[in-house]
Structure formats: C-alpha cells, structure tokens
Amino acid sequence: MSLTEKTKIIEAKNLVKKYGELTAVDGISFHVNAGEFFGFLGPNGAGKTTTMKMIYGFSPVSQGELKIFGMSPQDDLRNIKRKIGVAPQDMSLDPDLTVIQNLQIFARYFDLTKEQTEKKCEELLNFFHLKEKATQPIDHLSGGMKRRLLVARALINDPEILILDEPTTGLDPQSRRVMWERLDDLKKKGVTILLTTHYMDEAEELCDRIVVIDYGKIIEEGNPKQLIQKHGVKNLEDLFLKLTGKGLRD
Amino acid sequence: MTESISWKYAFKVWYRDFLVWTRYWWTSLFGALGEPVLYFVGFGYGLGALIKEVEGVPYLEFLAPALICSAIMHSASFETTYSSYTRMEIQKTFHSIAMTPVSVREVVVGEILWGATKSLLSGGVMFAAIAIMGLVHSPMALFAIPVLIITALLFSSLGMLMTSFARDYDFFTYYITLGLEPMFIFSGTFFPTHSLPPLVQRLTWLLPLSHPISITRGLFSGKIVEGFWISLLWISVLTIAIFRWSIRRMENRLVV
Ligand SMILES: Nc1ncnc2c1ncn2[C@@H]1O[C@H](COP(=O)(O)OP(=O)(O)OP(=O)(O)O)[C@@H](O)[C@H]1O
Ligand SMILES: [Mg+2]
C-alpha cells in the first residue's frame, strides 16, 4: 500500500475490555492509517497491552467495534494474524530453542516454505545483528539481543502491521538507537507500526501520531510536535505528566 | 469462538515439542523407562520367584503388559501437566504461538497429541523389549497397539484437564499422589483385581487404567478378555469426552 492513500488499516469504535469487574479499556475510539507509525502512551495499567491483545485477537472484545484490515477478529482471526507481527511485552521467546530455531519455528506457524524460511532467517539475523548468535540458546543472549530477536521474530511473515509492546524497555542507549534505526527502515518500507513505550523521547522521535491513554480512556491524541505546541510544553514527557498527573498508578 | 480445529496447525505445535525432544530424547527415554524397568526387575523377578503363576501365566508375563500401560499413563500425564504448565505459565509459549495463525485451541490439541506421542515412544520401546525377551505369546498382541494409542490420548487429555485447573505445581502433586498412584496400584498392575473385595472390584472398573491393562494382558497371551468391547467403548468415550472438555477449559483459561 502506498503511503499517500489513507487507508484505515485499524479502526476501533467505543472499544471496551472488561476483566470481570475491572474495566481495563473503557470505550476508546481511534484509527490507524496504513503506513503510519502510531504510538500508545499511558501510565502503567492504562490499558495499552490489553488494547494490543484485542487487536491480535488474544483477548476478545467485550463491547464496541474493532476492525483490522476491515475484518473483525471474532470472525477472521486467522486471516488477520497472517498479516500481523507481534513483539509482546513479556519477552516470550522460546527458551527450549536456539536463536535461529525461534525464527524457524515461527516461519513454520506462518506456513513459509523451506526456501522462504532460510532466506528470511538470514535476512533478519543480519538486519538485527544476531548472526553470530544464531545457534546459541536464548539464555545466552543479553537483554538487548533478546529484544532484537523478539522484533525479528515478529517480522518473519513480512507483516503489514507490526505491533511492538515496549520493545526498548531495558535497553542501553546504544541498543535503543539501533532499534530506532531498524524501526525507521521498516516504516520506510511501508510497514504500519503500533508502538507502546514509556520513553517519551522515543515516541517523540518515532511516532507520526500518538494517543495518550489513562484509566482505559483516551485523553489526548495527535502528532507529538503539534501536541507539544498546543499545550505549550517543552517536550512530550512534560506533556505526559501534565495530562496524567504525578501520582503512581499501579 | 466458533473456529474449528485445523489439524495442520495442531501438528505444527506438536512438531515444536518434538523438535525440543530430539535434543534430549535419550535422557527422556531413560527417565521414562527407569521406573518400569525397576518394577519389572524388582517385582517381576523378586516376587515372581515366590508367586510363579497368576491367572495361568508366569508372573513376569502377567506383569509386563500392565507395565507398558502404566508407563504410558505416567509419561503422558507428566507431559501435559508439569511440562505443558511450564510452557503455558512460565515460558508463555502458548501465548506466543497464538500470535501466529495457529489458534489457542490448536495449541492445546498439539500439546495433547505430543503428550500422547511421547508416552507412546517409551511405551513402544518397552513393548519391543518385552517382545524380544519372549514374553509375548501371540501375534494378537499387535491389536494392543490401537488400545495403547487410546490410553496415551486418554491420559494426555486428562493431564491437560488437570492443567486447566492448576494454579501452581502443587496441584499436580495432589493429582499424582491421590489420583494416578492409587490407580496404578488398584488397576490390576501387580495383582488381579478379582482378588479385591467385591465392592472395591466394582470400583476399579471405573478406573480408566484398569481397562487397557486387562485388554492388553489378554491380547499378549492371545485372548480377547471378557468385557473387551465394553471396556474399549468405555475408554474411547472417556477419551473423547475428556479431550473435548480439556480443550474447552484451557480455551476459557487462556482467552480472557
Ligand atoms: N488477564 C488479566 N486479568 C485481569 N486483569 C488484567 C489482565 N490483564 C490486564 N489486566 C488489568 O487490566 C489493566 C490494564 O492492563 P494493561 O496490561 O493493558 O496495562 P498497560 O497499559 O499495558 O500497562 P503497562 O504499562 O504496565 O504495561 C490493569 O489494571 C491490569 O491489572
Ligand atoms: Mg503493557
């Protein structure tokens, strides 16, 4: 898809997620255009991960409407998942397998052929500087390498939408820069990226558009630069604190 | 979730577990066979020297088929309790597979199929060893294979059902000590159930393990035991019911 035609690739209307009594997501509406770099910001427990889980269908929607590629996760989950890559927050790499096996097994789940798998693994290991570690078990990797592998794995199926739940948490500044460069490359290729992060400089640097979520509700949305101007603050971090206050959430 | 099961995807999950197993298969088989071999030597030869014959066959021959069945029960049960639980709760493997086109349901089915396969691998090695030792007296023993497959699926599913209830590993300790071990003892593994008081005898009929043991024991000496078909029907129905129930419960647990 080209970047100019503004296709709404994800569309949420009054989306609600309840876990028993707890309302984790409380009627949010937003859309993501194809090719956009979209950020979900918000304090701990705001409902960011929950929203992402609804998008890739792990968590059923309680109320409201959610369309991805124009399809509903309830009816077309398999077809949606074919075109999505997810790097989850909890770093769920497969510890029983080596680095390259982690990629190969995912390729298998996505029905890639042997040739496609080989080519893709080679490409991703290079792209994320993991070539030397290919045959190592996961617990031999540093935190930064694990995060990179997690994103590499999410790209195995050449997804149209890449969902990244805190991909840079725990990374040193160097690794974070490397990750930013990689994400920028992907954006240039036309991949739609959904990012959550607690690093406001990161969101400011990368995102075309953000939403700020608090207590399951969207409290602000727009382009980071424009929002900073609109609120007359120095940077996104100040804006974030202004919007969400200084109290702890968890 | 109205989505049905695609066996293709379930077998991809099966393959993941198989792939991991190929790295430690030797330890795995060694572990699975250690206990039955111990019983076989200890009880078979030790007790066999005193008892000589049970139900018209030497004690060792009486014991051998039962130990295949109970080895399958133990191995399948361990795989879908401790191992599956670890993959689900600790390693988050289920969750990450469910991010791909594979559904949660297919993950659970793949795990059950793997638990069954793994147990049949050790069961198969025992079967072969027992045959080589000359303890199988009829080609009818080959008909035991489908019965052993059902046994494997039954305990693999039952283990998964337990996992769907488990909040920690202790739960499995209870399941094994209060569920599986008494079943192991009272299903006619070491002594025929008809030597038990009549009421207890009737209760042992309900124990799923007692059926594959009696069927297999019969087939190994070329006999179709009394109640063969009803036993087969009972364990088949039980397997299907527990298989389906465990999948539904796991889905409800995982997809929230
Ligand atoms: N499986 C679950 N069962 C019950 N409650 C849950 C579950 N998952 C999340 N929650 C609750 O839902 C709320 C939103 O959680 P969520 O993980 O979406 O937050 P988040 O914005 O991703 O936070 P963080 O920045 O800490 O990752 C929290 O109150 C959390 O405790
Ligand atoms: Mg989160």
Tell me the residue ranges of DSSP E strands in chain A: 8-19, 22-33, 37-41, 63-68, 84-87, 161-165, 192-196, 209-214, 217-222
- Its domain, for residue B78, covers 7-254
Q: Compute the distance between CA of residue B9 and CA of residue B54 in angstroms, rounded to an integer.
A: 47
Supply the residue whose CA is at minimum distance from atom 2 of ligand 1.
Answer: A19
Interface contact A158, partner B, CB < 8 A: no
Q: Compute the distance between CA of residue A84 and CA of residue A155 in angstroms, rounded to an integer.
A: 9
**pLDDT tens, position by position, for chain A (250 residues)?**
444 557 899 999 999 999 999 999 999 999 999 999 999 999 999 999 999 999 999 999 999 999 999 999 999 999 999 999 999 998 789 999 999 999 999 999 999 999 999 999 999 999 999 999 999 999 999 999 999 999 999 999 999 999 999 999 989 999 899 999 999 999 999 999 999 999 999 999 999 999 999 999 999 999 999 999 999 999 999 999 999 987 777 6
Residue type at B238 in one-letter notation: L
Of B12, B19, B93, the CB nearest to A92: B93
Interface contact A90, partner B, CB < 8 A: yes
Residue B47 confidence (pLDDT) above 90: no
**pLDDT interval class at B248 (50, 70, 90):** very high
Residue B3 confidence (pLDDT) above 80: no
Q: Compute the distance between CA of residue A9 and CA of residue B243 in angstroms, rounded to an integer.
A: 38
Strand pairing report for A209-214 and A217-222: antiparallel
Q: What is the count of structural domains for chain B? A: 1
Q: Measure Cα distances from B39 to B47, B183, B218 in Å.
A: 10, 16, 20
Per-residue model confidence (pLDDT) at position B2 = 39
Q: Is-contact B118 B79, C-beta < 8 A? A: yes
Per-residue model confidence (pLDDT) at position A250 = 67
Q: Compute the distance between CA of residue B27 and CA of residue A51 in angstroms, rounded to an integer.
A: 43
Kindly state the average pLDDT of the residues B177-181: 95
pTM: 0.94
Kindly state the average pLDDT of the residues B32-55: 87
Protein residues with CB under 6 Å of any ligand 1 atom: A 19, 22, 24, 42, 44-50, 89; B 256
Tokens of B241: 């019911």
**pLDDT interval class at B242 (50, 70, 90):** very high
Residue B2 within any structural domain of the chain: no
Q: Give B88 to chain A, closest Cα distance, Å.
A: 10
Q: Compute the distance between CA of residue A123 and CA of residue B82 in angstroms, rounded to an integer.
A: 37
Complex ipTM: 0.92
Query: How many angstroms does the Cα of residue A45 sit away from the middle of ligand 2?
Result: 7
Q: Is-contact A159 A83, C-beta < 8 A? A: yes
CATH fold of A1-83+196-250 reads Rossmann fold (3.40.50)
How long is chain A? Answer: 250
Q: Cβ separation of A60 and B96 shorter than 8 Å?
A: no
| Mean per-residue pLDDT of chain B | 94
The secondary structure of B111-170 as a DSSP string is: HHHHHHHHHHHHHHHHHHHHHHTT----GGGGGHHHHHHHHHHHHHHHHHHHHHH-SSTH
Per-residue model confidence (pLDDT) at position A1 = 47
Q: Compute the distance between CA of residue B15 and CA of residue B256 in angstroms, rounded to an integer.
A: 26
**pLDDT tens digit string along B135-177?**
998 999 999 999 999 999 999 999 999 999 999 999 999 999 9
DSSP 3-state assignment of B185? helix
Residue B1 within any structural domain of the chain: no
How long is chain B? Answer: 256
Domain chopping of chain A, boundaries: 1-83+196-250
Backbone φ and ψ for A118, nearest 5 degrees, come out as -60, -45
Strand pairing report for A37-41 and A192-196: parallel
Per-residue model confidence (pLDDT) at position B40 = 86
> For residue B90, what is the nearest residue in chain A, using CA coordinates?
A92
Per-residue model confidence (pLDDT) at position B202 = 87
Indicate the top mutation candidate among A19, A86, A210 to test ligand 1's pocket, ranked by most ligand atoms within 8 A of CB. Answer: A19
Report the percentage of chain B scoring pLDDT > 90. Answer: 80
**pLDDT interval class at B30 (50, 70, 90):** confident
Backbone φ and ψ for B100, nearest 5 degrees, come out as -95, 180
Supply the residue whose CA is at minimum distance from atom 30 of ligand 1.
Answer: A45
